Structure formats: structure tokens, C-alpha cells
Chains A and B, each alone.
Chain A
Amino acid sequence: MGEKIEHLEMRGITKRFPGVLSNNKVNIQLKTGEVLAILGENGAGKTTLMNILYGLYQPDAGKILLNGKSVRINSPSEAIELGIGMVHQHFMLVPTLTVCENVILGLSKNFFMDLKTAAKRIKEITDTYGLAINPDAYVWQLSVGEQQRVEIVKALYRGANLLILDEPTAVLTPQEANDLIQLLKNMSEKGNSIILISHKLNEVMAVSDRVTVLRDGEVCADVNTRETSQEELARLMVGRDMAPCRREGAFSPGKPVLELQDVFARGDKGTDALAGVSLRIREGEILGIAGVSGNGQKELAEVIAGLRKTSRGKIVLNGKESTQMSPSRIIEQGLGYIPEDRIHVGTIPSFSIWENLILKDHHQPPFTKHFLLQNRTIMSHSSSQVEKYGIKTPTLETPTGRLSGGNIQRVVLAREITRKPVALVAAYPTRGLDIGATEYLHSKLLEARSNGIGVLLISEDLEELTNVCDRIAVLYEGRIMKVIPVEEADERILGLLMAGIAEEAQVQA
């Protein structure tokens, strides 16, 4: 273990990927006990920079100075050696191992593992920071929040005093996010340094001491948090003023387009993930589903899309019962669906943009006639979509896997909305998107609403829900706690319902 990190500096970091300049002469600095937030749009180069600091990538130019001395970090283990820990955007835990095994992975130099001693040390750490985890539990049994705690314990166990967190709150519930913010404050008070990447400006304001803003791989601002505001940060990131998108115009819903009646369905673990859900979505309305993820949201979306079987109950889509329909019949019947995993479910990464844009309609006219794909029609359709939805791509032949998260989401959105669905299910559509992309997506959902589409928006972000929804239903343990008009919804009530604390409310859809 090296000396404690008092001061870190990355100077003139440049990193190039084929066709992209990911980081261009980036400088950042950090002192002990400080929390540095890094902000930037999707693809601005934040993760790349951190991966360089953690030894996963080598910079093409520039150097890293620790306590004034230049260091070369060739691999994660060298970073760990220097006292750097990283919690990745996508967790780096082995689901089939126990918490304890995950924590000591790569550390033990003895022939036999010593799980007992390790468990004791884990307890010391969790006690110090007030993190509760059971060292003997298997990681696959843990909730997302718990898994994140394991990640943090992992870093602390390795003696990290500089902790990097890449979008740690993107998948957390508001409560878990608050806990994490508290924990980070606590840790910095105990003399640890923290680098935090987030798209949520309120969190950044709450916890950081300084903010570095990246734009197109370059540092465009470096400010003290105390001397700035959310609005200014947003402007720095995007390069223009931002105002959150809100629904406007009267709420005048039409006939129901999607109805669930007492729906039951099993989750992957075999227990009832949905236990009697009843909902009704009408034309020109956005119904929000609030709730801590893991309370049946995934199953709800899949059941509607026909990707998961119901065990009881009835679903009516566009006037027809769709409970037993195949996914393709349901699509024909008018369902649009923006899935949670936009990269692997919403698109085929190795397929080109035009191939992904016709994913659902490739088999019917005008795209196919007499079994043959009509290339000219498809191409002109695709290029107009790319233009209309502002998809940033070199060519139509570019595989979508090479696009940034925001642009992949635009491809999905373009496809799902252009099909003119009667009902649209959107699951966490803005997760991980920067504020610019988030704003764009919201505006498109509202546009769909005003075109008479019934939207079911699943989200954990209460601000998002209250901004765009007409009504909000709270899902808890597979049941709808309550459906409330947005005017009556405030964070406190929603939070209570999401925790399952309110008195059993009757469904009133």
C-alpha cells in the first residue's frame, strides 16, 4: 500500500478511440477530504477519464500526479495499490459469489482463503460507516442498493482513500440515493477523497466541494460548488439555457387504450412479482408508475408487451383482450415499448441504424414486398428518421452499438413513436441520460400525449414523474398502492407510498 493520497492531479490527459477524441488535454485536481463532481453530457468523456485513472485504459498523452509525484497506472491492481477505488456504473460484482468472497477477490495471497478474518474486517468497516450487509449472502440475492454498498466496502477494504463513483445514483431509489449522499459526506469528513460522476445536479450541489465540467472531451469549467448554481451548471454542460420540460394544456383523456385487470405474474425467482395489478390508461394521458425498482416494474412492462406470461388476470389493449397474445400480435394491436435495457433489448448493437429502425416492421409493406426487403424505401425512411429525431451518426450503416446512450435511445424512440402506437410503455427511458437528452425525451413523450397516445411511464425519478405525468400510480411489492392525480402528488406522499407505509389505498383507476 502506497502513502495516503493527499493530492491528485491529472494533467493534459488525452485519449483517442478510433474516430473519437474522448479526452482532450483534460486537467483535474483533488485534495484530501474533498468531493469533486465531474459533469458532462453523454459521451463527454467522463467514464473514459476515470477508467484512465483506475488503470483500465492508458492515456495517449498526459500524466497523473499523486502527491506531486508522477505515477504510471498500468492496471486496476496498480490503482488499488495506490489507494484508488472505483465503483463502476455497471457493478463489478460476481453474482454467484458471496459478499465476503467478492470483497476478498484478488487480494488473498495465501493458498487457502481466510473467510473468517475477512468477515471480521468487513464488519469493522461496515460498523465505522454504518453500512449494513451480511457477508455470507450471495450477491445475486441483494438489492441494487445493497450491491452498491458491497462495491463501496470492496474499495474501503482495499484501503482506498480516493473513491471514484460513476453515476452511482442512476439506479437507486430516492431513499437509497439520500443514504448514499450521507455516506459520501461521512466518508469525506473521515479524510477520504471522492470523485463523483452524476447527471443529477441536485445531488452534485448537495455533496460536492468542486465541479469540473467536460464538454466533447475537454474541460470547459472548473468551479467551486458554493459559487455556482444548478442553472449555471446545466448551461455549462449543454452550452445553452435549460428549463425543465413540463406538460401543458388541459388534461382531456379519451377512451381507454390499455387496461389491466387484477393481473398476476411470476418473477424470475418464481414468486409473484405482480399480485393483482389493475390499471387503466386512456388516450392522451401519461400515467406514471412510481416505485422502488424491483417491486414489479420490469414484470409489469413485460407482461403488457407479451414477453412474460400472466398467471391470472386480464389485459385489454386497444379494445381487444391481449392477455394470451404473442408479442407480435400485441405489437400489431398497437403497443409501443421502450424497454429498460435499451442497448440489448431495444436494439441489436451489431445491426446498422437502418436495420434497427425497421426492427418491428421489417416484414410488412412498405419495407417488404413479396418477401423481399425494399432497400430504397427503407433507406429514405431511415434518413428522414435520423434527421427528424436528431440522431447523431456518421452514416445509416453505422452499427447502433457505436452510438452514445442518448443516441441509442433516440433510435428506439424514433422507431416506437413513428409506428403510431395507441399505447406506449416507457421503462426508465431517461436512466443515465444527460439533462439535454432527458429534456428531449420528455418533450417527445409529451408530443405523443398530445397526439392522443396513451403513455405508461415507469420511472424512479419523482421529479420526472411530477413534471410530465397526468396521474401517478405507486407500485409496491407487485401491488398498486394508490393512483393519484399529479396535482395531489408531492414527494413526501409518494415516498411514503413507495415505502409501502400508507394505509392500503384502493385502486381507483
Chain B
Amino acid sequence: MDGVMSADIIVIILATGIRLATPFLLAALGEMFVQRSGVYNLGVEGIMMMGAFAGFYATLQLGTPLLGIAISLAIGALMGLIMAVVSVTFKAEQGISGIGLYMFGWGLSGLLFRLYVGGVTSIDGLKPIAIPLLSNIPIIGPVLFNHNGLVYTAFLLVPLSGLILYKTSWGLNVRAVGNKPEAADTLGVSVVRIRYECLILGGMLAALAGAFLTIGQANMYADNITAGRGFIAIALVYFGRWSPWGILLGSLLFSMADSFQSMVQVLGINFPYELAVILPYLVTIIALAISYGRVWAPAALGKPFQRGTRG
């Protein structure tokens, strides 16, 4: 046992944390748009699995991870569309629809894997891209600037999402639809259309998060590959109070904690790992409890929109 946390170890924890944050960030930013429009999609986990499989299979067949990404985006859009039909057009209870979508996505990804791959198969996934010069900066260079493209994408999406949400007309529509859909409706903003768009966007980002697991991390596919990450991503949206920067903070905190606990275990410091596994969930509940969720939540969250009903 080395006893001390040397600088090296800290660099490892940080770099790992950044890598681990990526899928949470992608899925949570997507879910943020969905919830901002007034829908919550509990099916993120299922979409991630489908995205993970699609990305993996396309990469396996076509040989290039870039096509894998493209195809998983398309599949994610499709899954988002299903959720939209069920929860927006048919106005179904969103929590339950999400659970349905989760089961469907889990089942279908497993089925397709068995039918078209069957067995542990590796692929050549995304390679890290060291950003010239920047990656040579001592200590923070390797922490920040030696990752694969999806990692950079996820982090770039944070300011981009902020820009879209607060500075564009579409972002204005999303915020209006999520807070007072009947107002948006009377001004000719189609509530249905905005919610469809957000669910599709959210589906694409969730699928991308899944694809990151297969072609950016594991370089293979296995049943239940997401292992609950989708649900954490949803919780992070609440934690981050529906803002991209809050979500960034939450994702980093969460994944740094995870990376830290792995290192603690590896270094043999006596630490019950059951607690380590529970910890993220516990932290999330506590975070939800102290953030008084409702105050910040989009006012119409979870309420299907029907023209002409009283509130």
C-alpha cells in the first residue's frame, strides 16, 4: 500500500473521471431538452442500449466507428420517436411509457445481438486524439486533451446546449412549451412538434451515450451493457436543475466519485465496495432532496398537453 495519493494518482483519477463523465453528459443533456419541453423520458436506458448495439454492430460490419456513430444516432432518433408517439400523441403516463421503452430497448438490443452477432466479439473503436501542444502541458495536458472524439463532443455540447436553449428561437419555444404549453399553443408554436423534436434529439443523444460505451470504451458489446447509467443520467438532470452547466457539474462530480472509489479499492484501502456501489445512488437522492426539485422544474413537466382543458 502506497498510502499517499501522489500527483500521478490524482491525474489518473481526473482523467478517468472525465472519460466516465462522457456518457452521463451526453444522455443527460439530451434528457434536459426533453424535460425542458415538458416530458420526462424514463426510457433513456433502453435507448442507450439500442444505441450501444447499433454503434457496435455498424462498426463491426462497416469497419469504421464514424458510421457506427451515425447509425446509432438514427436509431436513437427512432426510439425517441416511439416515445413521442406514445407520450405526446397518445398522452400516455410518461413514467410508465418510459419503463415500457426501457424494456423494449433492452429486449430488442439483446435480441438483435443474438441474431446478428452472438458471442463476444471485439471491434476497433475510437482512438484517443491527443490535441497537439495542449496535450503536452504538464499534468493537465493528459487529463484534458488526450481523449477520443466523443469525449470532446460531449464537453463541447455543454456550452452549445446553453446557447441553443437561451439564445435561439427554438430554445425559446422549448422553454415556453415546457412551462406553459397552452400559451405557446395560442401563439402558433406547436407543442406537439416541439416535444417531438426534443424527444428525437434526446433519443439521439442517449443513443450516442450508448454508442460511446461500445465504441468509445468497451470496444465490444454485451447484454445490459449500460448497467443503470441511463437512470443516473436522468437523475443528473434534476441534480443539475435543468441547466447544461449544472449537468456538467453533476456528471463530473458523479464520475469523479466513481473514479475515486475504484482507485481507493485498487490501492487496497479498506472500503466496503457495496457502499461504493450504493454511493452514487445515495448521493443522487440526497442531491435531489436538498435541491428542492419542484421549484426549478419546468412547470408542465410530466403533463400531457391537451388543448382546451382547464389546468
Touch between A and B in complex, CB under 8 Å? yes
Q: Which B residue sits closest to A91, measured CB to CB?
A: B183
Contact of A56 among B170, B173, B184, B307 (CB under 8 A): B307
Q: Which A residue sits closest to B309, measured CB to CB?
A: A401
* CB atoms of B308 and A51 under 8 A apart: yes
* CB atoms of A94 and B167 under 8 A apart: no
Contact of A105 among B182, B184, B307, B308 (CB under 8 A): B184
* CB atoms of A105 and B310 under 8 A apart: no
* CB atoms of A112 and B169 under 8 A apart: yes
Contact of B187 among A77, A91, A113, A344 (CB under 8 A): A77
Give complex CA distance A478, B310 in Å.
Answer: 31
* CB atoms of B169 and A109 under 8 A apart: yes
Residues of chain B contacted by A51 (CB below 8 angstroms): 308
* CB atoms of A88 and B186 under 8 A apart: yes
* CB atoms of B308 and A57 under 8 A apart: yes
Contact of B180 among A54, A75, A92, A112 (CB under 8 A): A92
Residues of chain B contacted by A102 (CB below 8 angstroms): 183
* CB atoms of B179 and A112 under 8 A apart: no
* CB atoms of A92 and B168 under 8 A apart: no
Give complex CA distance A90, B169 in Å.
Answer: 25
Contact residue range for chain A?
A: 35 or more
Contact of B188 among A75, A93, A110 (CB under 8 A): A75
Interface flags, A90-128, vs B, CB<8A=1, else 0: 111111110001101111111111000000000000000
Considering the complex, which residues of chain A in the window 187-233 have a beta carbon less than 8 Å from any beta carbon of chain B? none
Considering the complex, which residues of chain A in the window 288-339 have a beta carbon less than 8 Å from any beta carbon of chain B? none
Considering the complex, which residues of chain A in the window 31-55 have a beta carbon less than 8 Å from any beta carbon of chain B? 51, 54
Asked whether any CB of chain B lies closer than 8 Å to the CB of A427, the reply is no
| Residues A94 and B186 in contact in the complex (CB < 8 Å), given A51-B308, A105-B176 | no
Asked whether any CB of chain A lies closer than 8 Å to the CB of B218, the reply is no
Contact of B183 among A93, A107, A112, A349 (CB under 8 A): A93
* CB atoms of B187 and A105 under 8 A apart: yes
Contact of B184 among A86, A88, A94, A154 (CB under 8 A): A94
* CB atoms of B179 and A77 under 8 A apart: no
* CB atoms of B175 and A106 under 8 A apart: no
Asked whether any CB of chain B lies closer than 8 Å to the CB of A348, the reply is no
Give complex CA distance A23, B257 in Å.
Answer: 63
In this complex, the member of A57, A94, A96, A104 whose beta carbon has the largest number of chain B beta carbons within 10 angstroms is A94
Q: Which A residue sits closest to B188, measured CB to CB?
A: A77
Asked whether any CB of chain B lies closer than 8 Å to the CB of A455, the reply is no
Residues of chain A contacted by B180 (CB below 8 angstroms): 92-95
Contact of A108 among B172, B182, B186, B311 (CB under 8 A): B172
* CB atoms of B172 and A113 under 8 A apart: yes
Asked whether any CB of chain A lies closer than 8 Å to the CB of B189, the reply is yes
A residues lining the B interface (CB < 8 Å) = 51, 54, 56-57, 75-78, 80, 86, 88, 90-97, 101-102, 104-113, 154, 343-344, 349, 401
B residues lining the A interface (CB < 8 Å) = 167-170, 172-173, 175-176, 179-180, 182-189, 299, 307-308, 310-311
